[in-house]
Amino acid sequence: MPKNETNQMQKIVAWSKRRGFVFPGSEIYGGLANSWDFGPLGAQLKRNIRDLWWQYFVVGRDDILGLDGGILMNPRVWEASGHLAGFNDALIDCKACKSRFRADHLIEEQLNEKVEGKSLAELEKIVQNKALKCPSCKADKLTAPRQFNLMFKTFIGTVEDATSTVYLRPETAQSMFVNFKNILDSTRVSLPFGLAQQGKAFRNEITPGNFIFRVLEFEQMEIEYFIQPADWEKYFKMWEEAMSSWLDLLGIQRSNWSVREHQAQELSHYSKRTIDFEYNFPFGTKELYGLAYRTDFDLRNHEQFSGQNLHYQNPVSGESFIPHVIEPTFGVERSVLAVICDAFEVVTGGRGEASRQEEEVVLRFDRKIAPVKVAIFPLIKKEPLIKAGREVLAGLRNQFKFMANFVIAYDEAGSIGRRYRRQDEIGTPYCVTIDFETLDDQAVTVRDRDTMNQERVKIAELGEWLEEKYG
Ligand code: ATP
């Protein structure tokens, strides 16, 4: 896909809505800024990505266990993790037009300078010295930067006061630290091992935007990998490779992503080394995933705040210590967006309809994550083709009933060319057509989305043919 086209994102957003991938949130009420809902195909795509991740990182390995922790946790968790004191963004207001911005984004955009990790005073100095202007109204009436905590607050029970305050978790990571002792007590794991979790996280972002790239409510897939402190470099490398393989598995082209090392001053409060996996989105090269060496920061703090022993005892040497942690973290919405951007192709000149000059959209999703795996069409909407088509559909449904997420579509409306286009637009890898010959030779035509080759396959062998493709 050609990148950085200014209207590429508009095309993607419009396509997402038109084809039922992503809808603006609460739309009939005028929407809710920066909230999005996943439609039928978006929900399936998201699920395919989540399930593939779980399969690859949890089910398919011996050293990782799954966990499903709550969104609400004891508020002491967020004291121990440093989020209450430190999970802040510096924000700047424009006194003229009342717009609000993240100080680091404003400076980075206007001065092309990375300022993550700088103190409030340092940011203020930059804003004043460089006479920055409001990006919205261009006035030079910006306030000094102020700290703003990103955690959403809510209350348990009927009284809304400090004693009933709880927070919507801003990351899934903490339940894996908080349950560390339970895991040691209930399983027979030994180092190195990891815990993995998927689930919602919430951040009151000051400047959300770029479609589903930065939202207030999103899903994370995270792993906390517990290791002996001396081994951290080895496992950091192992996880860098595993994350690269994951991107290959998603079918994201290598040329569209890269790795960026965090500079010392931009490292999070808990991290000794962090790299970002960045994707070349149409709106710029931005963080897709992160890999951080969190040291023993979290377990040590939870041990201190909870008063519980969170040490690990080496079963051979008897040595007792707090394990260190390597954390690969993945955003689900950003995965969905990267996968869409990577697969989205606009073609002209007609795919099989040579006279057409208008643009056609083809989504070249990797087969593993395509929301619809195969579509069945009777050539025309007439008997006995409809009956034959329904039989093929029922046969495949039965054959694939235990293969999770194997979605089969059936479409008998409109010309065959139209129906191919509809499936191309949602990235269906194979379309199966039942024609008059089918009634004689008990075979169907299978058309490949990418090569557009058509192959004649016996109905009796169709399931096996597809099984081979989806292996
Ligand atoms: P950014 O610098 O873009 O704010 P971050 O470094 O704060 O991101 P992490 O705290 O490392 O992000 O979160 C882990 C992952 O969660 C990110 O790599 C990203 O995929 C996802 N993520 C974080 N914030 C958001 C958000 N507001 N909307 C959607 N996904 C997000």
Q: What pTM did the predictor assign?
A: 0.93
Nearest-CA residue for atom 19 of ligand 1: 331
Residue 405 is predicted with a pLDDT of 95
Domain 8-82+150-340 in CATH: superfamily?
Bira Bifunctional Protein; Domain 2 (3.30.930.10)
Tell whether omega for the bond before 145 is within 30 degrees of 0, i.e. cis: no
Q: Which atom of ligand 1 is nearest to the CA of 170?
A: 10
According to the 3-state scheme, what is the secondary structure of the chain?
Answer: CCCCCCCHHHHHHHHHHHCCCEEECCHHHCCCCCCEEECHHHHHHHHHHHHHHHHHHHHCCCCEEEECCCCECCCHHHHHCCHHHHCEEEEEEECCCCCEEEHHHHHHHHHCCCCCCCCHHHHHHHHHHCCCCCCCCCCCCECCCEEEECCCEEECCCCCCHHHEEEECCCCHHHHHHCHHHHHHHCCCCCCEEEEEEEEEECCCCCCECCCCECCEEEEEEEEEEECHHHHHHHHHHHHHHHHHHHHHHCCCHHHEEEEECCHHHCCCCCCEEEEEEEEECCEEEEEEEEEEEECHHHHHHHHHHCCCCCEECCCCCCEECCEEEEEEEEHHHHHHHHHHHHEEEECCCCCCCCCCCCEEEECCCCCCCCCCEEEEECCCCCCHHHHHHHHHHHHHHHCCCCCCCCEEECCCCCHHHHHHHHHHHCCCEEEEECHHHHHHCEEEEEECCCCCEEEEEHHHHHHHHHHHHC
Which pLDDT band holds residue 397 (cuts at 50, 70, 90)?
Answer: very high
Residue 47 is predicted with a pLDDT of 98
Question: pLDDT (tens digit, 9 = 90+) per residue, 337-349?
Answer: 999 999 999 988 6
Q: Who lines ligand 1 at CB under 6 A?
A: 203, 205, 214-215, 218, 220, 287-290, 329, 331, 333-334
- Does residue 2 register a pLDDT over 50? no
- Does residue 383 register a pLDDT over 60? yes
- Kindly state the average pLDDT of the residues 440-469: 96
331 CA → ligand 1 middle, Å: 7
What CATH fold (topology level) applies to the domain 372-470? Rossmann fold (3.40.50)
Residues 64 and 194: beta-carbon distance below 8 Å? yes
Nearest-CA residue for atom 1 of ligand 1: 287
Question: pLDDT (tens digit, 9 = 90+) per residue, 290-331?
Answer: 999 999 999 999 999 999 999 999 999 999 999 999 999 999
Nearest-CA residue for atom 15 of ligand 1: 331
Question: pLDDT (tens digit, 9 = 90+) per residue, 117-141?
Answer: 788 888 888 888 888 889 889 988 8
Residues 232 and 192: beta-carbon distance below 8 Å? no
What CATH fold (topology level) applies to the domain 88-149? Herpes Virus-1 (3.30.40)
- Does residue 358 register a pLDDT over 90? no
Q: For the chain, give every residue range classified as CATH 3.30.930.10.
A: 8-82+150-340
Residue 5 is predicted with a pLDDT of 60
**Ligand 1 site-directed mutation target among 218, 239, 327, most atoms within 8 Å of CB:** 218
- Kindly state the average pLDDT of the residues 385-405: 95
Residue 356 is predicted with a pLDDT of 61
340 CA → ligand 1 middle, Å: 18
266 CA → ligand 1 middle, Å: 14
Q: For the chain, give every residue range classified as CATH 3.40.50.800.
A: 372-470
Q: For the chain, give every residue range classified as CATH 3.30.40.230.
A: 88-149
